[in-house]
Structure 1
Amino acid sequence: MKKSITLLLTFILTFNIFFVNNSIISKAQTSPTKSAIITANTTYLRSERSTSSSKLKTLTKNNIVTVTGYKGNWLKVKSGTKSGYILSKYVTIMKEQTTTSSVNFRKGPGTSYSVISKLPKGRKIYLISKSGNWSKIYCNGKIGYLSSKYTKGKYRICIDAGHQTVGDTSKEPIAPGSSTLKYKVSYGAVGSYTKIPEYKTNLNASKVLRDILESRDYDVIMIRDINDVKMSNIKRAQFANKNNCDLAIRIHCNFAEESDTKGATIFTPASNNKYISSNAYKSICKQSYNISELINKKLKNKGIKMLGNEIYPTSNLTGFNWSEVPCVLFEMGFISNKTDDYNLNDPAYQKKFMQGVADGIDTYYK
């Protein structure tokens, strides 16, 4: 066992975790559509996921669109009768909430700003962003602010299926302001027995988790719902940050030279991170570890085999270091091991694994 754990930790530092996710299509429902707001002064709805593709429509700041798909750094959206693609950096996916009492809807984030209208208890609103104790929202065709204590909504979970069809070995900073660089997206591994690339397994499992969470009334957004994307680890973390997520879940598979090494592991941000030491980051570390402990317990209750210390705090993941929300990364098992490789590509096993993950999330939030 000591040899297996040593191989695991060596692999973590050198190969497999450069951070992102993938997999096959679940047979459940597709994600419900979500309203989003344009944040750029001017951008374009395009026919394809390319800035050289034809422009279907000009969109301006505060236009509202409907998100129908998650294509990495592109979103598939509908605006009026037109459907196409828009760069995700120009869009914020609004979070549906309701007012918990009668409340003033103001022009700015403070009681000194004039009142646009008074909203009744139970009014549906859409969160754009938060600033201190104030929420910037969209309601009745207008943008304004409410005190955050008078709003509530579903917990929003971002699922990041690790890797993508083609990796990107150009480099980016491992943390804000750091001179240490890492690959933007590594290629990931390939199942030694199934020959299925990790990015496909990751996406399939991620879609299973999405469907389970949505059936339990969570608000879920995906980093990607196809394999052919191009999105770095920093961009993935920033996507969860800007879209008001409560938790980011990152799905991966592991690989080792020894074919008998097997079992799942959980990674969380390390509080003794040499790259980041802010209080905000340490708060994320504590929440992430608490969620990880609950998920670990539920996975073992489901009969999922765990490896080594089971939960590993780490400072070596770009996606963790750039995150502003609690985050957890799963290595679901070793696709270099025959049992794990076949299990991780079995829909029934994926469902059992992700039910354990969802049970842990339920215990933390509900």
Structure 2
Amino acid sequence: MVALALVATVVATTGCAGKKESSSATTSSAVTTTAEETTKKQEVSTAETAASDTVQSPSSDAAQNGESKGKEATSQQETTKQQAANDTNTADAEPVQEEAAVNEDVEVLADIPDEVPLAAFTKTAETGYVTANRVNIRQQPSLSGKKMSSVNVGTKLRITGKADGWTQVEVNGKTGYVFAKYISSTQPQQTQSQQAAPQNAQNTQNTAKVNAQGDIGLDMSWKYANQSAIHSGSAKLYKASANRKGITIAVNAGHGTKGGESKKTLSHPDGSPKSTGGTNGKGAVKSIAVSSGMTFNDGTTEAAATLKMAQALKTELLNRGYDVVMIRDGADVQLDNIARTVIANNTSNAHIALHWDSTGNDKGAFYMKVPSTPSYKAMEPVASHWKQHDALGSALVGGLKGVGVKIFSGGSMEMDLTQTSYSTIPSVDIELGDKASDHSDATIQKLAKGLADGVGAYFGK
């Protein structure tokens, strides 16, 4: 294969079983981003998708705080084939979105060759900027080429070649092709809402839900939002003050929703049963909306520890130029796992949910890996995003390992979570140890550095 798929963005998630969170940590000033444009989502046929080169990324996946603890799932080999859902519109390394928005300027595509031979490209080494939202990056320079990902206005790309109507780009060492029409050598002027618009996430923020303090409520028009049972709370947007990268990370402090265990939501968007056990057993059609989490050996609640961890990670990411959506910014937030995931899907480039496991042997850190079960991997939105989830998880574990954090087994455990079942952006539940693990201030700072290093490795920044 000539061109490799390009890994798109990331957002932090929420969902683990039996956890706790602690409070404190430094904060950065909250700034709001008003999303001025609301994008209409339309289902289009394959023919329409081929005719348009702007994609609308599906909405999300609620993090399930409490599905994954207490049991260690036996790791299964990942299947190497996906079902028919991954057809010619699916990229090898990064599946495409489920929905596409019809390009308003679709007639201009008549001027672009349907396919350009690779030999026609002239090598170059330039920097380019994307000039529109939801622009496709394809595996081949062809309208029928597989879509690898989509990028938004202002995204900086390395240009490696040019041909009639097409631009060859390289991101994270992988090659893709974009319509030259949507690439400029000059960085476009961006409105606040455009700067906050995530890559690979729906640009459908409800301006009425983002106030002057940066609070972001759940917009019930967002995909999967109506499956949430607890959604009266709000997340908070923080923007980096310098060296901004144009990437937003959703940091989800696991647990911390009063009354979360009294309600249940569908484990999967399609109502199918869970493929693995955890806080909610294998075969469960409904899962606890938000679990309360475990308690550390020293009496600290998991919810208190995850909040402290989230605040430290927020500060580390802001200092590195990332914007941050804090899904839970205090002791309690009235957002269940689905609401948390949907907010992340629509505001961020990646979703990282922070947890500690409920075992008691100081096992080390690991991430919750998408189960190998073929039927689960074939279910949307999992089918279109599981490779992103696993790539983000591996990057985070690599970052933790790099700063000397103990890693459990191979660094992952297969688990069917509400979070990844509803996520439409790179999304991971990261377990930072268990109830016997150290969660002192010094360790929290080390974990924050390792996770931020992992984010940088994933995004190449």
Report the TM-score, using the length of structure 1 for normalisation: 0.61
1:255 matched to 2:395: no
Partners of 1:297 and 1:332 in 2: CA distance:
13
1:34 corresponds to which letter in structure 2? T
Per the TM alignment, residue 31 of structure 1 is displaced from its structure 2 partner at its CA by 3.8
Instruction: Trace 1:96-135 onto structure 2 (pairs within 5 A).
Output: 109-111=103-105, 121-125=187-191, 126-127=193-194
Residue-pair matches, total? 255
- Residues 262-316 of structure 1 show CA distances to partners (whole Å, capped at 9, x for unaligned) of 31221133353634514753342112212222222221221111122321232x2
Distance 1:308 1:250, change over 3 A: same
CA contact (8 A) 1:174 1:181 kept: yes
Partner of 2:24: 25
CA contact (8 A) 1:20 1:160 kept: no
CA contact (8 A) 1:255 1:334 kept: yes
Per the TM alignment, residue 260 of structure 1 is displaced from its structure 2 partner at its CA by 3.3
1:176 matched to 2:258: no
CA contact (8 A) 2:17 2:357 kept: no
Moved segments of 4+, more than 2 Å: 16-23, 27-39, 127-138, 165-169, 259-262, 268-276, 278-283
Partners of 1:235 and 1:137 in 2: CA distance:
14
Distance 1:122 1:329, change over 3 A: same
- Residues 193-229 of structure 1 show CA distances to partners (whole Å, capped at 9, x for unaligned) of 1x11110100110111111111111121011101222
Partners of 2:263 and 2:203 in 1: CA distance:
37
Per the TM alignment, residue 133 of structure 1 is displaced from its structure 2 partner at its CA by 12
Per the TM alignment, residue 363 of structure 1 is displaced from its structure 2 partner at its CA by 1.3
Secondary structure of 1:325 counterpart = coil
CA contact (8 A) 2:21 2:306 kept: yes
CA contact (8 A) 1:214 1:220 kept: yes
Partners of 2:353 and 2:384 in 1: CA distance:
19
- Residues 48-80 of structure 1 show CA distances to partners (whole Å, capped at 9, x for unaligned) of xxxxxxxxxxxxxxxxxxxxxxxxxxxxxxxxx
> Greater relative contact order (Cα 8 A, min sep 6): structure 1 or 2?
2
Partner of 2:394: 293
Q: Flag the structure with higher strand content.
A: 1
CA contact (8 A) 1:22 1:204 kept: yes
Structure 2 stretches lacking a partner, 5+ long: 1-14, 39-101, 108-185, 207-243, 273-284
Structure 1 stretches lacking a partner, 5+ long: 1-15, 40-107, 114-119, 139-151
Partner of 1:350: 444
Instruction: Trace 1:162-311 onto structure 2 (pairs within 5 A).
Output: 162-164=254-256, 166=258, 167-179=260-272, 180-193=285-298, 195-243=299-347, 245-256=348-359, 259-270=360-371, 272=373, 274-275=375-376, 277-278=378-379, 281-311=382-412
2:251 corresponds to which letter in structure 1? I
Per the TM alignment, residue 350 of structure 1 is displaced from its structure 2 partner at its CA by 0.6
- Residues 23-52 of structure 1 show CA distances to partners (whole Å, capped at 9, x for unaligned) of 32212434443335698xxxxxxxxxxxxx
1:323 matched to 2:405: no
